[in-house]
Chains A and B, each alone.
Chain A
């Protein structure tokens, strides 16, 4: 029983990271129709910078904030390259993000080398209803929950958020009322970058980061996001948490080697079922 609680909370902590990456993908896809394959790179860059800043004596909090800011900035740059030129099709932009994701490897290796990095998070072990788990998982959950609440508020209760939702809902109508859809796309990329960055700085203390950590993040994040057809943030959140829990349970009771396969099987199943029911993902989004 206490094992189970431990796995669940750990799973929610890991899942929160996936959910953040997934919601970044969703934020970008909804507004721009671009599947951003550079999403994992935001997390890696943010984590690497946070590790360096902490190593240089910058206090916790500030270092992580620096990482998230780099994530947001990288998001803006990726967005500018991917959708900055008017008339670029979402398919072309997708390839551009894929290319930038690979370019990020080179930059990361050049600056930080190819060795795994980590830094201490919340120290110690928490005791939760008899279950013992790393206290840092609780911090991940405690930070992610209000971030999602804040996003829900932003997208439905502020005019800027409404304008982003408007671009997602009807791009042409958004142009008719005078919303600059390209600028909104860049804003979405920036938000996606910050969310990816947050995932990176939050999870690095429990999962070392290397230049190619983005693969696991993007696979899991995409699997969570695709549950909601890449357009529903709440389902992406639920999907991310579910994936985290499923993987921790699979690792805890089965073998640790099959974690990514859980995500891949789930993602493929969802995509096949969706394709059989309503056609390709891109079309279900309308």
Chain B
């Protein structure tokens, strides 16, 4: 297994306050990794640092291959059509890499709404556009900042299905930052727990789901008993 993304002692400070404090995090190829943590734990800072939108104060980030981000809040180009949103996802690839056909095959739900204004879509549709837009970059790893936030359970199930398929069929690695810890731990192979800018726990997702500390803080106090 080779690492697609690796951070070593990653530290980010905002005007004195430390948002990330010595974070070591690795995502290997073909792997789905969850990052859970409370609001303000530093999750979004980590996403921005990984995407190169924010310069770390110290530590290293190594990305081998292409990284694409599905930003929190979906961040549509609201005035543009779905198809234009997707095309712009391929901006880094140059002219040859902006053909959207492949994405419509992977996410067939988008084909029917390709000429609609992205700003007029439902939250679930926008999330699918955001994923499609990230896929246009032909990534080796997808960093998803809040997949399920504000979406109906049925739509979340559909999105999770797509992610599983992308992971198993195309070997896409995923780093999932997620409020819904149970969803994240169910879906992913490994997980990190971020608390106040530090990695408090990490390990197999299934093991973390049984950890009393995780259960108390993130799973509503209930340990899921599986036989």
Contacts and interface: CB of A to CB of B under 8 A. Distances in A.
A182 to B, nearest CB: 13
A170 B98 contact: no
Contacts of A166: 77, 80, 84, 88
B78 interface: yes
Contacts of B95: 159
B78 A169 contact: yes
B80 A169 contact: yes
Given A170-B75, A172-B71, A172-B75, A177 B80 contact: no
Contacts of B89: 177
A172 B75 CA distance: 7
Contact of B77 (A165, A175, A178): A165
A158 to B, nearest CB: 10
Interface string B56-94: 000000000000010100011111100010011101100
B1 interface: no
A169 B88 CA distance: 12
B53 interface: yes
A173 B53 contact: no
Interface residues of A, number: 16
A170 B78 contact: yes
Nearest to B79: A169
B92 A177 contact: yes
Contacts of A276: none
A177 B53 contact: no
B74 to A, nearest CB: 9
A262 interface: no
Given A159-B98, A162-B88, A163-B88, A176 B53 contact: yes
Contacts of A178: 91-92, 137
Nearest to B83: A162
A138 B175 CA distance: 61
A165 B71 contact: no
B79 to A, nearest CB: 5
A168 interface: yes
17 contacts: A159-B91, A162-B84, A162-B87, A165-B77, A166-B84, A166-B88, A169-B76, A169-B78, A169-B79, A170-B75, A170-B76, A170-B77, A170-B78, A173-B76, A174-B77, A174-B88, A179-B91
Interface of A: 159, 162-163, 165-166, 168-170, 172-179
Interface of B: 51, 53, 69, 71, 75-80, 84, 87-89, 91-92, 95, 98, 133, 137
Closest 6 CB pairs of A and B: A173-B75, A178-B92, A169-B77, A169-B79, A166-B77, A177-B91
